[in-house]
Amino acid sequence: MCAYTSIRIYINTETCLVSSMMKRYNVAMTEEMEKKLETERKKRLLDSIPETIRVILSEYLSKP
């Protein structure tokens, strides 16, 4: 049986600095994925798992 962890992620939906709106997403993942994200977080010197997910998604979505 797989155990899942739920993580809340906030993503900025506007580029305007004055009124930046954030959307909230809940993500469920296995403990194995959580450990991989924690390793990636430490490697990139980021503050949190949600920040790590945002960075990875941003990099992935900006590729042509």
Answer for the pair 21, 30: CB distance below 8 angstroms, yes or no: no
Widest pairwise Cα distance in the chain? 46
Question: Domain locations in the chain?
Answer: 4-62
Q: What is the structure's pLDDT at 63?
A: 85
Q: Which tens digit of pLDDT belongs to each residue from 10-22?
A: 766 555 444 456 7
Quote the pTM value: 0.70
What pLDDT is attached to residue 45?
96
Q: What is the pLDDT of residues 7-55, one digit of tens each?
A: 777 766 555 444 456 778 888 888 899 999 999 999 999 999 989 998 9
Query: How many other β-carbons are positioned within 10 Å of the β-carbon of residue 30?
Result: 12
Q: In the beta sheet, which residues pair with residue 4? A: 30
Q: Alpha-carbon Rg of the chain, whole angstroms?
A: 13
pLDDT band of 4, cuts 50, 70, 90: low
Joined together, the tokens standing for residue 45 give: 């010197």
